[in-house]
Amino acid sequence: MVAIVRAILTILGGVAGYETAGIALSHTSFSDMYSLLLFGVGVLVGAALGFVVGGLLGRQIVRLSHSVDRATSKVSAGALLVTILGLIVGLGVAALVSLALKDLPVVGVFMPPLVYALGGYVFAYVAYKRHADIGRLVGFKNLGSGSGKKAVSPKILDTSVIIDARIGDIIPTRFVDGDLIIPGFVLEELQSIADSGDPLRRARGRRGLECVRALQDASERVVIADRDFPGLAEVDAKLLKLAKELEGSILTTDYNLNKMAQIQGVPVLNVNELANALKPVVLPGESLAVRVIREGKEEDQGVAYLDDGTMVVIEGGRGKVGQDVEVEVTSVLQNPSGKMVFTRLAS
């Protein structure tokens, strides 16, 4: 869409530049060479302006189309039809009222636009709000029963889930639907982390920026949102505000943001909770074959890990570091930060 609008305005700009040069030459007496040069400059300048304006206008049209699509997806076809009919009736009534008001002294000239705007809005609003009742009056009993396709809320990515980078593996599986919104203030925070003097923070920031680029290449649903809230200093507060405005969900791995969103009634998708839910189920009494990696904190404990990263605490495993052993599960501890499996050496 951007390329099409840019191409059209570039052509129109070139034609306008040519016509402008022709009008200017009609009032001068330049030689043929200078006239040709002026025509060329006019075309180039007009085309360049059209190219720039076309890019800006094209991007605004794309944003507007996304907004219109999200808005209309929440409304049934019947409601849209009744609303349009209400708008037409409102404009018709406004036209009749304008005929009576246009001859008023002084204010008569200014009244018709106001009457048209007010009449169209009022009738369209009432038709939308009462479209089901209007449908029943004209014989369409099921006009208000359907709500069209179910609206899919956008997913707003925060800094932590982008740096975590697992979202890049989740998105191609299509388990997450809707637009993927990456706010501009989140990108700014990623850039500041990537420019940090701390090597660890710098590496995390660069990994986040690479994740954003990978998401853009993997999915056409990624949208960079320029919306900002200068009155809010914290990025988390801006994310919550944006989620409320867009009626969307927040994708995060941040425990504190998760809790704050729940308090404020904002839906949250926590990648850590998803990862924990997908870990293999281990039940007391089952046997596992693991390699003891290191000693545990308590006396005579050893520590091993499952393939998914789950920590396995082994009673009596301190002397088995570096060895493959068979253990029996005694209990499983599940908390928001992960899962721990407690075991003992098999007899």
pLDDT tens, residue by residue, 162-196: 998 888 888 888 888 888 999 999 999 999 999 98
Burial classification of residue 48, based on how many CB atoms lie within 10 Å of its CB (0-12 exposed, 13-18 middle, 19 or more buried): middle
Q: Which has more confidence, 31 or 88? A: 88
Q: Which range is least confidently modeled, 142-151, 161-170, 247-256, 312-321?
A: 142-151
Give CA–CA dist 59/65, Å, rounded. Answer: 10
First to last CA, the chain: 69
Contacts of the segment 232-239: beta carbons below 8 A, 24+ positions apart: 235/158, 235/159, 235/185, 235/186, 235/189, 236/158, 236/260, 238/183, 238/185, 239/156, 239/158, 239/183, 239/186
Q: pTM of whole model > 0.85?
A: no
Q: What is the pLDDT confidence band of residue 147, given thresholds at 50, 70 and 90?
A: very low
How much of the chain, in percent, has pLDDT values that exceed 90?
18
State residue 145's pLDDT score: 47
pLDDT score of 74 more than 70? no
